[in-house]
Copies of this chain bind each other. A is one copy, B any other.
Amino acid sequence: MGLVVQKYGGSSVADAEGIKRVAKRIVDTKKQGHEVVVVVSAMGDTTDELIDLAQQVSPIPSGRELDMLLTAGERMSMALLAMAIKNLGVDARSFTGSQAGVITDAVHNKARIIDVTPGRIRSALDEGAIAIVAGFQGVSQDTKDITTLGRGGSDTTAVALAAALDAEVCEIYTDVDGIFTADPRVVKKARKISRISYQEMLELAASGSKVLHLRCVEYARRYDMPVHVRSSFSGLVGTWVTDEPEGDDMEHAIISGVAHDTSEAKITVVGVPDKPGEAAKIFRLVADNEINIDMIVQNVSAASTGRTDISFTLPMSDGQNAMTALTKAQAEIGFESLRYDDQIGKISLVGAGMRSHPGVTAKFFESLTGAGVNIELISTSEIRISVVCRADGVPAAVQAVHTAFGLDDQSGEAVVYGGTGR
């Protein structure tokens, strides 16, 4: 019976009743003989309400102060959860990110964890207590200021603590039953995946699957920490995210799932001088503004003009920042104009099995054509193919691809391909 880290999201602790229900589940785990560390998010819509208040006093709130404000959210949920557990007769202590030793860089609102020193958590466990830790937050190594890890950061806190404490498993409790082959709100016949590799989960998370935060999966893979994604409302087994199956796994599907994302925008930089270093200038500028970009496409240069167009996609929420920064640098970079398009959607097919199945790409494109979807950008990795199309074409496209690859649930039986190995 080892150490278990459990993470509960905001919807699981939205009110007093939810907190009491979660407390009972935690106490049950403790009574099974485990050491238990719990990472908790802010209650329900608290974070959104605080952001709303911030915008009432300042249109562009200071990053440092926004972090100070938002971290009040988990402070409330963790203290209430610790009280509820103590009320069940089991010792519990709450800790802020700083107290739990979550050390980050100083980039407010999207800090990165650079070290975890959970001495106080270890002591609490040694004294027989359950440790409740605020998700999403840390303290900057250099400035000692309070930082937040950005949306979904509580998942990352949980996996980072699990790794630092050498936990047996990191359980991510959420309001769905696990990871699905597609978003069940879009594809009715989406199936729950019982086991998926870190690599595939990374691609799914990067492609728009909302259940696990990308950085959390990166962290889990780096430290080889098994993650069990499951529902806090049912007792069901969810999805295990682990390393890849050893040897030939005859039952491992070629395709894990279809992800989609309509939260990105596309910026096209028109008429960039086609000289070495021009693209680098653009992406250095974007990086310096702490903007993560996703897909990049450079058109073939028109010989007559010596100029080319460069398109890239990025989170819509960073769109305004990027346009402002690029506009300021227009003279220096020497491009002709900018185009901004936030009516795009991205569809991604993910599966470790596609490495050895050359027909996957063709079938993917055929199914998109069948759904009447026009492809605007393409990007591939060894285990993923993504395309950008119009946002309003996304639901039909996802449904068509899901069916074409045999992912639809058929009377409860998971459809699997015979693995050919490699």
A contact set with B: CB distance below 8 Å: 16, 19-20, 23, 50, 53-54, 56-62, 64-66, 68-69, 71-73, 75-76, 78-84, 86-87, 92-94, 99, 120, 144
Contact between chains at A83 and B71 (CB < 8 Å)? no
Q: Which residues of B contact A94 (CB under 8 A)?
A: 65, 68
Contact between chains at A79 and B59 (CB < 8 Å)? no
Given the complex of chains A and B, what is the CA–CA distance between A66 and B87 in angstroms?
13
Given the complex of chains A and B, what is the CA–CA distance between A35 and B60 in angstroms?
25
Instruction: Report copies per complex.
Output: 2
Contact between chains at A79 and B68 (CB < 8 Å)? yes
Contact between chains at B16 and A53 (CB < 8 Å)? yes
**How near does chain B come to A80, taking the closest CB pair, in angstroms?**
5
Known pairs A69-B79, A72-B79, A75-B75 / 17 extra A-B pairs, C-beta < 8 Å: A16-B57, A20-B57, A53-B76, A57-B81, A57-B84, A57-B87, A58-B84, A59-B87, A61-B83, A62-B82, A65-B80, A65-B93, A68-B79, A68-B94, A69-B76, A72-B75, A72-B76
Q: Which residues of B contact A54 (CB under 8 A)?
A: 79-80, 83
A59, A73, A75, A79 interface centre (most CB from chain B within 10 Å): A79
Contact between chains at A71 and B62 (CB < 8 Å)? no
Q: Contacting A66 at CB < 8 Å: which of B64, B83, B144?
A: B83
Given the complex of chains A and B, what is the CA–CA distance between A299 and B50 in angstroms?
57
Q: Which residues of B contact A53 (CB under 8 A)?
A: 16, 76, 80
Contact between chains at B79 and A93 (CB < 8 Å)? no
Closest to A120 in B: B144
Contact between chains at B56 and A16 (CB < 8 Å)? yes
24 A-B pairs within 8 Å (CB atoms) are namely: A16-B53, A16-B57, A23-B57, A57-B81, A57-B84, A57-B87, A58-B83, A58-B86, A59-B87, A64-B93, A65-B82, A65-B93, A65-B94, A66-B83, A68-B78, A68-B82, A68-B94, A69-B75, A69-B79, A72-B72, A72-B73, A72-B79, A99-B144, A120-B144
